A and B are shown apart, each in its own frame.
Chain A
Amino acid sequence: QSPPGKPKIIKCRSPGKETFTCWWEPGADGGLPTNYTLTYHKEGETVTHECPDYKTGGPNTCYFNKKHTSIWKLYVITVNAINQMGVSSSDPLYVDVTYIVEPEPPANLTLELKHPEDRKPYLWIKWFPPTLTDVKSGWFMIQYEIRLKPEKATDWEIHFAAKQTQLKIFSLYPGQKYLVQVRCKPDHGYWSEWSPESSIQIPNDFPVKDTTMWIFVAVLSAVICLIMVWAVALKGYSMMTCILPPVPGPKIKGFDIHLLEKGKSEELLRALESQDFPPTSDCEDLLMEFIEVDDSEDQQLMPRPSKEHMEQGVKPMHMDPDSDSGRGSCDSPSLFSEKCDEPQAHPFKFHTPEGPEKLENPETNLTYLQATQSTSREGKIPYFHASGPKSSTWPFPQPPSLHNPRYSYHNIADVCELALGMAGTTATLLDQTDQHALKSSKTIENGEEEKAAKQRESEGCSSKPDQDTAWPLPQDKTPLISAKPLEYVEIHKVSQDGVLALFPKQNEKVGAPETSKEYSKVSRVTDSNILVLVPDPQAQNLTLLEEPAKEAPPALP
Chain B
Amino acid sequence: SRLLLLLVVSNLLLCQGVVSTPVCPNGAGNCQVSLRDLFDRAVMVSHYIHNLSSEMFNEFDKRYAQGKGFITMALNSCHTSSLPTPEDKEQAQQTHHEVLMNLILGLLRSWNDPLYHLVTEVRGMKGAPDAILSRAIEIEEENKRLLEGMEMIFGQVLPGAKETEPYPVWSGLPSLQTKDEDARHSAFYNLLHCLRRDSSKIDTYLKLLNCRIIYNNNC
Contacts and interface: CB of A to CB of B under 8 A. Distances in A.
Q: Is B one of A's binding partners?
A: yes
Interface string B206-219: 01111110010111
Interface stretch (A71-79, A81-89, A148-156, A249-257): A71-79
A278 B7 CA distance: 71
B204 to A, nearest CB: 7
A99 B196 CA distance: 10
Contacts of B92: 139
A229 to B, nearest CB: 24
Interface string B77-120: 00001000101111011000000000000000000000000000
Interface stretch (A129-137, A192-200, A458-466): A129-137
B177 interface: no
A44 B78 CA distance: 11
Nearest to B213: A138
Contact of B200 (A43, A98, A137): A98
Given A72-B200, A139-B208, A188-B54, A43 B87 contact: no
Chain A CB count within 10 A is highest, among B47, B88, B211, B218, for B88
A94 interface: yes
Contacts of B85: 72
Contact of A136 (B76, B88, B200, B211): B211
Contacts, number: 71
Nearest to A44: B76
A335 to B, nearest CB: 64
Contacts of A539: none
B74 interface: yes
A187 interface: yes
B14 interface: no
Interface in B25-65: 47, 50-51, 54
Contacts of A96: 197
Nearest to A18: B89
Interface residues of A, number: 25
B88 A70 contact: yes
Contacts of B93: 137, 139
A136 B54 contact: no
Contact of B219 (A43, A76, A136): A136
Contacts of B71: 74, 94
Contacts of A141: 207, 219
Contacts of B47: 187
B200 A188 contact: yes
Contact of B88 (A43, A69, A137, A138): A69
A44 B81 contact: yes
B88 A18 contact: yes
A137 B212 CA distance: 7
26 contacts: A17-B89, A43-B76, A44-B75, A66-B88, A66-B90, A69-B88, A70-B88, A73-B87, A74-B71, A74-B74, A76-B75, A94-B71, A94-B72, A96-B197, A98-B200, A136-B217, A137-B89, A137-B211, A137-B219, A138-B209, A138-B210, A139-B89, A139-B93, A187-B47, A188-B200, A188-B203
Ranked 7 nearest A-B pairs via Cβ = A138-B211, A70-B87, A138-B207, A94-B71, A138-B208, A139-B89, A138-B219
Interface of B: 47, 50-51, 54, 71-72, 74-76, 81, 85, 87-90, 92-93, 197, 200-201, 203-204, 207-212, 215, 217-219
Interface of A: 17-18, 43-44, 66, 69-74, 76, 94, 96, 98-99, 134-139, 141, 187-188
